[in-house]
């Protein structure tokens, strides 16, 4: 090591055992504070590995001070969250950043139990280079009694920790209940293959559980629920999006259903027929579905407007011209689609003239509404924004 370095000796408690068991807030900085926290943690839970890791960090600190008295060292402990996942990583990142800025560290030594160093090392290295990783594990007796004690400790953790209990106990419990119900049904109705249904149901449950856990769907849902609880108005946004998608699906179903009513089933699956009658099929589909799509889009805009109104956002005003635009555009598309099956003979065809008049009327209407909204915005903006 070169003279003049400021080295941070860092312990990371990824699941915040320190906070949950002792109530001590992190980051913990300084030799005395770390020692007191480690003693407190061991007092609350003598089997806690994080406390031993903290003592190892203190030992490394004292050794380095003796070997390199001209360098500056600091020891610190940061912690994540009991929830885990992204929230835990973000909390660790915030605490590491604050320590590095305060101590002005230019290098770090990570003291880890070997389980979480791969997960936290990239987070730490985004603020300060790691020059060494000290993996520390508590030595256990290899006697049979110690083995049973360790197994009992792990079993207690599974039973008491909700993160593990829902998967190690909850999922097998659901499987047992499902299998029992189907077994009883098979005894009552022996002619129905309920046991086969039970196998399929259990495989689906396990499959969905693995997908949810593997792709982090459960964490994403937890984060979404937390976001909604902090900002309930966002439910208006979510509802408007779901409504919009639902109306699009309904419109497509109605359009396809109308095609199957007008044309024979063997025609709508015939590629040659589809290509030769594409204009008529398009007209039938669009003419039947466009109303539902327009309603869905209007409800989406109304939902967004309600959301912006609740959060006092000035974008509320732009929603009103959008509704007028949707109405005018829908009718313009309907008139244009009619010309798919009946091509106008000249520019002065009544349908073309009606379309041009409608487009001009739409432009005037949208412009008028926009001007009116600007005047209303100037007059009532203070009421909306609360300023």
Q: Is the pLDDT of residue 63 over 60?
A: yes
Q: What is the pLDDT of residue 235?
A: 78
Q: CA 288 to CA 294: how far, in whole Å?
A: 11
Question: What does the pLDDT average to over 346-370?
Answer: 78
Q: What is the pLDDT of residue 365?
A: 80
Q: CA 63 to CA 67: how far, in whole Å?
A: 6
Candidate from 103-117, 146-160, 231-245, 327-341 with smallest mean pLDDT: 146-160
With cut-offs at 50, 70 and 90, classify the pLDDT of residue 361.
confident
What are the residues whose beta carbons fall under 8 Å from the beta carbon of 70, sequence distance 6 or more? Answer: 3, 4
C-alpha to C-alpha distances, 320 to 150, 160, 327, 374, nearest whole angstrom: 65, 53, 11, 11
Candidate from 62-66, 104-108, 358-362 with smallest mean pLDDT: 358-362
Contact 167, 209 (CB under 8 A): yes
With cut-offs at 50, 70 and 90, classify the pLDDT of residue 344.
low
Q: What is the pLDDT of residue 146?
A: 54
Top pLDDT among 115 and 144 is at 115
Q: CA 225 to CA 360: how far, in whole Å?
A: 47
Q: Is the pLDDT of residue 379 over 70?
A: no
Strands in 28-29's sheet, in edge-to-edge order, are: 28-29, 72-79, 6-13, 107-112, 130-135
Q: CA 16 to CA 75: how far, in whole Å?
A: 18
Q: CA 131 to CA 117: how far, in whole Å?
A: 13
Q: What is the pLDDT of residue 249?
A: 92
pLDDT digits (tens, 9 = 90+) for 188-228: 888 888 888 888 888 988 888 888 777 777 777 777 777 76
Q: What is the pLDDT of residue 144?
A: 47
Q: Per mean pLDDT, which of 154-158, 171-175, 365-369 is the most reliable? A: 171-175
Phi/psi-derived region of residue 8, left when phi > 0, alpha when psi is between -120 and 50, beta in every other case: beta
- In which residue are the tokens 């639902």 written? 246
Contacts of residues 256-263 at CB distance under 8 Å and 24 or more positions apart, as own/partner, are 256/285, 257/288, 258/284, 258/285, 258/288, 259/284, 259/285
pLDDT digits (tens, 9 = 90+) for 74-87: 999 998 887 777 88
Contact 96, 10 (CB under 8 A): yes
pLDDT digits (tens, 9 = 90+) for 44-55: 888 777 888 889
Q: Is the pLDDT of residue 57 over 80?
A: yes
Q: How is 108-159 classified by DSSP, letter by letter?
A: EEEEE-SSSHHHHHHHHHTTS-EEEEEE-------SHHHHHHHHHHHHHHHH
Q: What is the pTM of this model?
A: 0.42
Domain boundaries, given as residue ranges, for the chain: 6-135, 144-226, 231-385
Q: What is the pLDDT of residue 246?
A: 92
Q: Is the pLDDT of residue 142 over 70?
A: no
Top pLDDT among 338 and 270 is at 270
Instruction: State how far Cα 220 lies from the chain centre.
Output: 3
Question: What does the pLDDT average to over 108-116?
Answer: 75
Upstream peptide bond of 321 is cis (omega within 30 degrees of 0): no
Candidate from 119-128, 161-170, 203-212 with smallest mean pLDDT: 161-170
Phi/psi-derived region of residue 89, left when phi > 0, alpha when psi is between -120 and 50, beta in every other case: alpha
Q: What is the pLDDT of residue 76?
A: 92
Q: Is the pLDDT of residue 31 over 80?
A: yes
Q: Output Rg (C-alpha) for the chain, integer angstroms.
A: 33
Q: What is the pLDDT of residue 345?
A: 66
The token pair at 353 is: 């003239």
The token pair at 152 is: 């009992």
Contact 366, 325 (CB under 8 A): yes
Top pLDDT among 4 and 272 is at 272
What are the residues whose beta carbons fall under 8 Å from the beta carbon of 95, sequence distance 6 or more? Answer: 26, 27, 78, 79
With cut-offs at 50, 70 and 90, classify the pLDDT of residue 1.
very low
- Burial tier of 309 (Cβ tally within 10 Å: 0-12, 13-18, 19+): middle
pLDDT digits (tens, 9 = 90+) for 279-290: 888 888 888 888
């Amino acid at each position: 090591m070169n003279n003049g370095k400021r080295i941070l000796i860092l312990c990371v408690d990824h699941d915040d055992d320190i906070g949950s068991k002792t109530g001590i807030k992190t980051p913990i900085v300084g030799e005395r504070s770390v020692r007191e926290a480690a003693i407190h943690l061991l007092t609350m839970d003598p089997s806690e590995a994080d406390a031993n890791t903290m003592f190892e960090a203190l030992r490394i600190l004292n050794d380095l001070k003796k070997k390199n008295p001209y360098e500056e060292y600091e020891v610190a402990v940061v912690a994540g969250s009991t929830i885990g996942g992204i929230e835990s990583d973000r909390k660790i990142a915030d605490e590491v950043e604050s320590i590095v800025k305060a101590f002005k560290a230019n290098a770090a030594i990570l003291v880890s139990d070997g389980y979480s160093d791969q997960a936290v090392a990239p987070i730490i290295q985004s603020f300060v280079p790691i020059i060494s990783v000290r993996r520390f594990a508590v030595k256990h007796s290899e006697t049979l009694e110690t083995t049973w004690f360790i197994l009992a400790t792990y079993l207690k953790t599974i039973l008491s920790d909700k993160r593990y209990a829902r998967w190690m106990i909850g999922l097998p419990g659901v499987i047992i209940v499902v299998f029992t119900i189907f077994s009883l049904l098979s005894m009552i109705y022996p002619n129905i293959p309920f046991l086969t249904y039970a196998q399929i149901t259990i495989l689906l449950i396990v499959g969905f559980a693995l997908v949810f856990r593997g792709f982090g769907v459960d964490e994403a849902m937890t984060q979404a629920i937390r976001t909604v609880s902090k900002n309930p108005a966002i439910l208006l946004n979510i509802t408007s999006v779901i409504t919009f998608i639902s109306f699009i699906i309904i419109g497509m179903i109605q359009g396809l259903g109308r095609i199957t009513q007008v044309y024979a089933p063997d025609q709508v699956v015939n590629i040659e027929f589809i290509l030769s009658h594409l204009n008529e099929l398009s007209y039938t589909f669009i003419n039947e579905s466009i109303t539902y799509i327009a309603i869905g889009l209007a409800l989406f805009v109304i939902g967004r407007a309600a959301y912006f109104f609740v959060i006092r956002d000035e974008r509320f005003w732009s929603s009103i011209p959008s509704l007028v635009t949707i109405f005018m555009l829908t009718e313009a598309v309907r008139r244009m689609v009619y010309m798919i099956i009946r091509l106008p003979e000249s520019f002065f065809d009544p349908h073309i003239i009606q379309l041009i008049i409608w487009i001009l009327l739409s432009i005037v209407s949208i412009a008028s509404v926009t001007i009116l909204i600007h005047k209303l915005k100037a007059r009532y903006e203070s009421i909306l924004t609360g300023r």
